[in-house]
Amino acid sequence: MNFTALVFLAHCLLLLHRCMGSEAGGVFDHGRHGVSLARVDEARPPSRCGGGTKTTSPPPGTPPPPKPLLVAAPRDAGEYPVLVFLHGYLVVNSFYSQLFQHVASHGYIVVAPQLYTISGADTTDEINAAAAIIGWLAAGGLSSVLPPGVRADVTQVSISGHSRGGKVAFALALGHAKLAVPLAALVAVDPVDGMGVGQQTPPAILTGRAHSLRVSAPAMVIGTGLGELPRGPLLPPCAPRGVSHAAFYGELDVGAAGAACHLVAGEYGHTDMMDDETPGARGMLTRMICRSGGARAPMRRFVGGATVAFLNKWVGGDGAAMDGIRARPEEAPVALSVVEFLDDKAMAQTE
């Protein structure tokens, strides 16, 4: 084989490698859409606030949302699926704004309620509030606060949540509150059900029994390796073993869900998908209490990209990116210590 032929072959192999990696790699980068980020709060008049975030209220005659919202949406005209994201314990929904913009840039509308400012152990009010927000969306409440020409497809919604919000997302998928529209997908980001086994917060979601969580939609559980480890000798872990991601995934009933997957970033911590800057005392606590893997950008790209890939498959009907993560997990922006799938393909491989 002469030199020219070798160069041509090498070029073809490079193109093939790029094509094979593009399905997963693309979702980890910012998408093609510009993004609008708006706060929706009936209690405050229309104004501009820092960080380019618009604060608005629904027009007269339009009922306000049950809770204040942060809404990230594509700027390009069109109809887009909706993802409702539920924040973690005692944090602010805006701490995830960079994550929301990543997801929205790929063609999704992200609706993130501020479920509470201060809360006790019981999550029942949060479950009911999240269900009420989905009802408000189904009634068309979002239409007045989106960019011109942008429409929300609310025939079904997907639900996601981080930490305690991941538990609330599971509760909704388990039918703990009646929903106005079906759930299309469930994405739980390092979910937590209490302080430890036997110390769960009401209503307890985990049962301690395999295949007991009969959720109503395909489910992805994203975990962190450092979340199970304490930041110091006087601090408890932020995602204690036995009530966090591995337990949620281990109790999923794939027959009810249709499919499930479990992806763990072993070298990152419980809050590492949040914004680079989380202001105020609460923002400072997100770095002081939970053990961290360092820079947040890689973990945020991973969580955003994995979420987009999962939604693309189960909402958009395009499984290329999810299949890419499954086949080539090393191409994720973080090292994955666990890559598990429960579906027909996985079952066939074990037979």
Amino acid at 257: A
Residue 1 lies in a domain: no
Residue 4 lies in a domain: no
In this structure, what token pair is assigned to residue 198? Answer: 């036997």
Asked if 270 is an active-site residue, the reply is yes
39, 56 contact by CB (below 8 A): yes
As for how many domains the chain has, the answer is: 1
| DSSP classification of residue 143 | G
Residues β-bridged to residue 33: none
Residue 251 lies in a domain: yes
Q: Catalytic residue, from 94, 163, 244, 292: name it.
A: 163
User: Which helix H or strand E contains 295, and what residues bound it?
Assistant: none
CA distances from 118 to 91, 92, 290, 295, 335 (A): 9, 11, 19, 28, 35
Q: What is the pLDDT along the chain (351 residues), one digit of tens a residue?
A: 554 444 344 444 333 333 333 456 699 999 999 999 999 984 344 444 444 566 666 666 678 999 999 999 999 999 999 999 999 998 999 999 999 999 999 999 999 999 998 888 999 999 999 999 999 999 999 998 999 999 999 999 999 999 999 999 999 999 999 999 999 999 999 999 999 999 999 999 999 999 999 999 999 999 999 999 999 898 999 999 999 999 999 999 988 788 999 999 999 999 999 999 999 999 999 999 999 999 999 999 999 999 999 999 999 999 999 999 999 999 999 999 999 999 856 544 544
- Residue in the block written with tokens 């909704």: 172
Residue 146 lies in a domain: yes
343 CB contacts (<8 Å, ≥6 apart)? Answer: 254, 258, 259, 260, 261
Q: If DSSP codes are grouped into helix, strand and coil, which group holds residue 116?
A: coil
Residue 10 lies in a domain: no
Write the CATH number for 202: 3.40.50.1820
Cα–Cα distance measured from residue 275 to residue 272, given in angstroms and rounded to the nearest whole number: 8
Terminal-residue alpha carbon distance, the chain = 44
Asked if 47 is an active-site residue, the reply is no
Q: Catalytic residue, from 105, 270, 272, 275: name it.
A: 270
Residue 16 lies in a domain: no
Choose among 128, 132, 192: nearest CA to 164.
192
Choose among 159, 225, 209: nearest CA to 187.
159
Residue 252 lies in a domain: yes
Number of H helices, E strands in the chain: 10, 11
Cα–Cα distance measured from residue 248 to residue 232, given in angstroms and rounded to the nearest whole number: 25
Residue 162 lies in a domain: yes
Q: pLDDT at position 118, please? A: 86
Asked if 163 is an active-site residue, the reply is yes
Can you point out the beta strands (E) in the chain? 35-40, 47-48, 54-56, 69-74, 78-86, 109-113, 150-162, 183-189, 219-224, 260-265, 336-342
DSSP letters, 61-111, are TSPPPSS-EEEEEESSSEEEEEEEEE--TT--GGGGHHHHHHHHTTT-EEE
> What is the residue range of 330's domain?
29-41+63-348
Q: Catalytic residue, from 41, 57, 190, 275: name it.
A: 190
348 CB contacts (<8 Å, ≥6 apart)? Answer: none
CA distances from 302 to 113, 199, 267 (A): 22, 30, 12
| Torsion of Cα atoms, 306 then 312 then 318 then 323, to 10° | 10
